[in-house]
Amino acid sequence: MYKAFLIKYGEIGIKGKNRYMFEDALIRQIEYALRRIEGSYTVTKESGRIYVDTEGEYDYDEVIHTLQHVFGIVGIAPMVQIEDEGFDSLAKELIAYVDAVYPDKNFTFKVHARRGRKNYPMDSMELNKELGSRLLEAFPELKVDVHSPKVNLYVEIRQRINLFSEVIPGCGGMPVGTNGKAMLLLSGGIDSPVAGYMIAKRGVVLEAVYFHAPPYTSERAKQKVMDLAKQVASYAGPIRLHIVNFTDIQLYIHEKCPHEELTIIMRRYMMKIAQTLAEENGALGLITGESIGQVASQTIHSLYATNEVCTMPVFRPLIGFDKQDIVDIALKIGTYETSILPYEDCCTIFVAKHPVTKPNLKIIRHSEENLSEKIEELVKTALDTKETIMCEV
């Protein structure tokens, strides 16, 4: 019965000029998301409101599911929109609405009328009262409860009149495109897709980089990363994924540096390369899935040593999360199943038995001196031969 949806969005921090930017970005993201499902949709705004109108057949659950992937939406209210043809007609429409949406009338309700224009002949109080009594006349089983009603009936008088009573939660956040771009270091694990999701949720466009080390990491591992990028893209919009061949760099570090420092030195090179890619592509920060103490390379000492090569901000949205909290988000956003597929890196030769957990920066720098200029060439080759693919739903 619903032909339209009212989109509710948060208002904090979007006053004045920012508001238009926020609303326009939200409209673009809604249009983009709806483009991938069947049906014909028009997205419009009317002072402080965004509407999605449908035309012809559409799948209700699919529309809700799709809108729940759009950052910036706090709630989705399926609504009936009617023309203003006087109070009697409004009362009739509201009765028809209640009849259609609630076949069983054994519930308590409250009418919330709001006038978006003050030229309507009745004020909100009168509307609440009069509409309430019309409803009670039509359905005597109904009861009014102004304190904790089972059903809140919203009546918004604007150019036209909006009737709605259900608000389905959206995912919140800010529309993608309102907050610049960042480069996500995306592996096939559980953490980095969640980290990307969280930063995109603040309105940031994502670009991603995956360090692939064939034959030590399999083609299936690479496919898994592309699948994860696509899943994150169902929220974040299209993600350009750079696949950088890291094998020669890894082998060279393995050859020249103490094995217990391998992970840290490799991670320093990953960050450097990610940063170069970020600079080349207009991204203003890096994103990783690191969390303090999760593994040897994520002790606070290791993070200090890794971070030292970065000149741009590194966003680590999971830094204070327990693994279970991260898993819960991965499950909620739908990346978990893919993340736990067993095509993990088989590069055990690169994993030291006893990696340093308190790397000393002076020692690490000293070890890196063994790498000479050849490492720069290898980095350049890795960048020159990268593969870039667009991941989107």
Applying CB under 6 A, the residues found at the interface with ligand ATP are: 185-187, 189-192, 209-211, 288-290, 294-295, 297-298
The interface partner of residue 179, options being Mg ion, ligand ATP, none and the CB cut-off 5 to 8 Å by kind, is none
- Pick the piece of the chain touching Mg ion (CB under 5 A) from 4-12, 157-165, 188-196, 245-253: 188-196
120 in Cβ contact with 128 (< 8 Å): no
Q: How far is the CB of 294 from ligand ATP (least distance, A)?
A: 5
Q: How far is the CB of 200 from Mg ion (least distance, A)?
A: 19
Q: How far is the CB of 344 from Mg ion (least distance, A)?
A: 8
The interface partner of residue 192, options being Mg ion, ligand ATP, none and the CB cut-off 5 to 8 Å by kind, is ligand ATP
Q: How far is the CB of 315 from ligand ATP (least distance, A)?
A: 10
Six-digit token string for 12: 């904090």
C-alpha dist (Å) from residue 239 to 61, 100, 191, 296, 389: 26, 42, 17, 30, 8
Strands 314-315 and 286-287: parallel
- Pick the piece of the chain touching Mg ion (CB under 5 A) from 73-81, 172-180, 182-190, 311-319: 182-190
Asked if 187 is part of the footprint of Mg ion (rule: CB under 5 A), the reply reads: yes
Asked if 217 is part of the footprint of Mg ion (rule: CB under 5 A), the reply reads: no
Sheet holding 239-245, edge to edge: 314-315, 286-287, 181-185, 205-212, 239-245, 387-391
Looking at residue 33, what DSSP letter applies? H
User: Within 13 A of 318's CA, how many CA atoms are on the CB side?
Assistant: 26
Question: 3-class DSSP state for residue 346?
Answer: coil
Instruction: Compare residues 187 and 335 and give the one whose CB is closer to Mg ion.
Output: 187
Q: How far is the CB of 179 from ligand ATP (least distance, A)?
A: 19
Q: Where are the alpha helices (DSSP H) in 237-333?
A: 247-256, 262-280, 300-307, 323-333
* Size of interface with Mg ion, in residues (CB under 5 A): 2
The interface partner of residue 295, options being ligand ATP, Mg ion, none and the CB cut-off 5 to 8 Å by kind, is ligand ATP
Instruction: Compare residues 134 and 267 and give the one whose CB is closer to ligand ATP.
Output: 267
Q: In this structure, what are the phi and psi dihedrals at residue 103, rounded to the nearest 5 degrees?
A: -60, -35
Q: How far is the CB of 189 from ligand ATP (least distance, A)?
A: 2
Instruction: Compare residues 161 and 205 and give the one whose CB is closer to ligand ATP.
Output: 205
Residue nearest to Mg ion (CB): 189
Q: How far is the CB of 197 from ligand ATP (least distance, A)?
A: 12
Asked if 193 is part of the footprint of Mg ion (rule: CB under 5 A), the reply reads: no
User: Could you report how far apart the first and last alpha carbons of the chain are, in Å?
Assistant: 28
Instruction: Compare residues 170 and 289 and give the one whose CB is closer to ligand ATP.
Output: 289
Instruction: Compare residues 211 and 252 and give the one whose CB is closer to ligand ATP.
Output: 211
91 in Cβ contact with 85 (< 8 Å): no
Q: DSSP per residue over 104-168, as a string?
A: S--SEEEEEEEESSTTSSS-HHHHHHHHHHHHHHH-TT-EE-SSS-SEEEEEEESSSEEEE---E
Which residue in 189, 203, 285, 317 binds Mg ion (CB under 5 A)? Answer: 189
Q: How far is the CB of 48 from ligand ATP (least distance, A)?
A: 39
Question: 3-class DSSP state for residue 341?
Answer: coil
Q: b/e string for 11-33 if b means 16 or more Cβ within 10 A?
A: eeebeeeeeeebbebbbebbebb
The interface partner of residue 153, options being ligand ATP, Mg ion, none and the CB cut-off 5 to 8 Å by kind, is none
